Amino acid sequence: MKLSSKIHRFLLILVCIIGLNQLAQADEFDYVRVSEALFPESRTWLNIGRAPTLPASQFQQVKNKLKQSYLAAISTSDPFEGQDCSFIQRSLEPSEIKSFYLLDIDHDGIVDIVYIGSAQCAEGGATVIWYGTQNGFAVRSPAVFPLRLLRVSSDGGRALSVSEGCCGDPVDKYHTGSLSNLRDGDTIPFLHDTVLPRSSLDRSFHFVARREVKLRLAPKINDQYDQGLSEFLNRAAFGNVLRSYLKNSKGVALASVVEYGQKWYFVVMAAESNALASHDPYLGVRAGWLLASEVNVLGHHERL
């Protein structure tokens, strides 16, 4: 075979491998990327998924201690532990080793171990934090958070997490909180198919709706009745409309884009404006796109 033919064949194989890898990556929903769009300030926080994972040799050494400290922290009626399924038993299987991360999550100078992976005995994800101590590990209550921890602030004081939609639900909920309570801050429901902005505004700002507005999953207008989606949701659905709001609804603009000569804002509508939602097919989704011409700017915004 000629050298040029060998090179051509090699390049073809390489392109195929790269393509398959990209498809595999596309199949895995990027929760961190969504959280960055909803909470741009969190981009400087520690991404837990990039922390080193527990080496196999160390995993074997500490897994019994992890189990003991976990069991000491749960109640006898814990929903993650039962006769038919044990969360801790399944999560400590060798196949789950890549779900255990090593980091000093609370910044006390002692390395902690964080499990972020399948809830094992339930739908969705789960997080368990084993805090390192001078005498081993300690698990605080609640032992299992039924969501995935995504980011932690540089001082360990704030956290970002996501609870995945159950049973095929396309809506996830993103939370801000603390390590003791991952959901004691803001909660933003988000539809999977929503188009994310490529970048954020230098400074986000508050706005108020000048008229009745439609929050959309993409920066374009589509109001056509969708019979198939309406039957799936058991509620009327129109085009790319996520939610409709009455005049004077409020929110925060986080990004902007110009499409076909129209300027759009990627926004998070205020929870206080839920009472002004006039059409709500996805039951609470409040992040998406609004036409810039439909809102009045009120002032800049500080979050988290």
Whole-angstrom Cα distance, residue 77 to residue 79?
6
Whole-angstrom Cα distance, residue 251 to residue 263?
17
Percentages (nearest 5) of helix, strand, coil residues in the chain: 30, 35, 40
Query: Stretch 268-276: mean pLDDT, rounded?
Result: 97
Query: Stretch 269-280: mean pLDDT, rounded?
Result: 97
**Contact at 8 Å (CB) between 161 and 143?**
no
Over the stretch 208-263, which tens digit does the pLDDT of each residue have?
A: 999 999 999 999 999 999 999 999 999 999 999 999 999 999 999 999 999 999 99
pLDDT of residue 303: 55
Whole-angstrom Cα distance, residue 270 to residue 186?
10
Name every residue whose Cβ is closer than 8 Å to that of residue 281 and which is 6 or more positions away in sequence. Answer: 229, 230, 233, 235, 236, 237, 238, 241, 242, 243
Lowest mean pLDDT among 27-36, 40-49, 246-255: 27-36
170 token code pair: 């396309």
Cis peptide before 94 (omega within 30 of 0): no
Give, rounded to a whole angstrom, the gap between the first and last alpha carbons of the chain. Answer: 62
**Contact at 8 Å (CB) between 223 and 238?**
yes
Over the stretch 119-148, which tens digit does the pLDDT of each residue have?
A: 998 889 999 999 999 889 999 988 999 999
**Contact at 8 Å (CB) between 255 and 197?**
yes
How many other C-beta atoms lie within 10 A of the C-beta of residue 279?
16
Which sequence spans correspond to the domains of the chain?
Answer: 31-191, 205-300
How many other C-beta atoms lie within 10 A of the C-beta of residue 177?
19
